[in-house]
Amino acid sequence: MILYNIVLGLGAFCGLPLALPLALCSGKRRATALERLGLRGLPPTPEKSGSGRRRIWIHALSVGEVTSAVPLAMCLRNRFPDHDIFFSASTRTGFLTARRLLDGIVQALFFFPYDLPFSVSRLVRRVSPDVMVIVETDLWPNFLEQMHRRAVPVFLVNARISSRSCAGYRRLSFLTRPMFRALTKIGVPSAEDGLRWTALGVSPERIIRTGNIKFDQPIPDIPETERQRMRRALKIAPERRIVVAGSTHDGEEQVLKTAFLRLKAVYPDLCLISAPRDPDRAGRVRRIFASAGIETETLSQLENGGDKRLDVVVIDRIGLLKRLYALAEAAVVGGSLVNRGGHNPLEPAAVGVPVLFGPYMSDFREIADLLIAGGGALEIPDPMRLAEVLQALLEDRTRRADMGQAARETVLVNRGAVDRTAALITEGITA
């Protein structure tokens, strides 16, 4: 731990000349950094809150993890009405998502600290949790050391772990083994995840297969009147066909642009909704499509009075993608056409839309395989074949309907992990 903190301190010192100008130029970055350093935005201490209630602290890294954690937070709220629920996120987009989805459910929302000893210690003293719940695998040595010192039970839930992450942890076993000893119980989505945690030195009796809580996300009810309203807001005529590309990363828009130009020659009415994972990239994404002569605007520009017929609409805010998927003839999952591990394919599947993704789905491999086996998804080994696969789907209405129904059914039959995860935590709290 001493060596880790020396390296961490040197890294922070060396990175300061780069990070400081960025923080000073961006109010958002500055505010986030100050909160993660523990210098502002701290929750009230138990003494100041005056409630005297026990505290459950739930942490989720970013948007995907936060979204997964919402049903669990609601379930724990119902199971433990005499406890306060505190919630943290590491990224600004994750924090904003939590603020939107957890309003009225949690007693405090704040940023997770950088893993610097003084930042961690300051926040942990303020929160003073009785139970810690970490969603997926945002694990940090100093933080877990603090939990261990304070004898706080730590539950790692939905703890999926890829073969790549497992190999990385094994290379750093001198650091990770003490960290894993702080984990009271680990709830894993699959047997394969459990085997990987065992290979990392976690005793099997601490590993419980609970299933994947991502299947338990609320399924939006989007009637036809709402779909037509969304089309009007996007200025997309009712007769036009739509493909939605969600949570895309740098490099994927070039693939989408090439595919779209090929498809546009066959389907002149086709429209693409592109939602970059980072909304701050929206301007750059718009320029990529516009550079090929494709009529493109961001959603904000549309709302500010744009009225021309568009071929591509770029979504530049968070919180809309789940509902936008319902407009699609087919959905392309981002992070899978380039090697970013993929993103959650259950969001389009839940609204009955055929799901397409590229070969890079390591972070969602089990879910991807279930959707493929159920007939609701197609994996495209070569991203340059995206246009070919989409064209085959657009030509076959019956196949699209069958795939959409199969995708939705796969979601429905795999629900229940939130209750099993809450039961695991309950057992630890009441033990």
Angle at the Cα of 137 (from 135 to 143), degrees rounded to 5?
A: 90
Q: Which amino acid is at 125?
A: R
Distance separating alpha carbons of residues 213 and 260, to the nearest angstrom: 34
Cα atoms in the Cβ-side hemisphere of radius 13 Å centred on 397? 1
DSSP 8-state class, residue 172: T
Q: Residue 220: CB partners within 8 Å, gap ≥ 6?
A: 322, 323, 326, 350, 351
| Residues facing 297 on adjacent strands | 313
Helix, strand, coil abundance in the chain, percent, nearest 5: 55, 15, 30
Please provide the distance, in angstroms rounded to a whole number, between the alpha carbons at the two ends of the chain.
30
Measured N-to-C along each axis, helices 27-36 and 92-101 cross at an angle, to the nearest 10 degrees, of 80
DSSP 8-state class, residue 362: G
Residues annotated as catalytic are 65
Pairing of strands 185-188, 154-157: parallel
Residue found by looking up tokens 């495209």 in the block: 380
Distance separating alpha carbons of residues 143 and 126, to the nearest angstrom: 14
Token digits for 271?
């429209």
Please give the sequence-ordered ranges of beta strands (E in DSSP) within 90-180, or none if there are none: 108-111, 131-135, 154-157
Q: Residue 121: CB partners within 8 Å, gap ≥ 6?
A: 146
Q: Residues 339, 316: contact at Cβ < 8 Å?
A: no
Q: Residues 202, 186: contact at Cβ < 8 Å?
A: yes
Q: Which amino acid is at 90?
A: S
State the burial class of residue 127 (Cβ atoms within 10 Å of its Cβ: 0-12, 13-18, 19+): buried
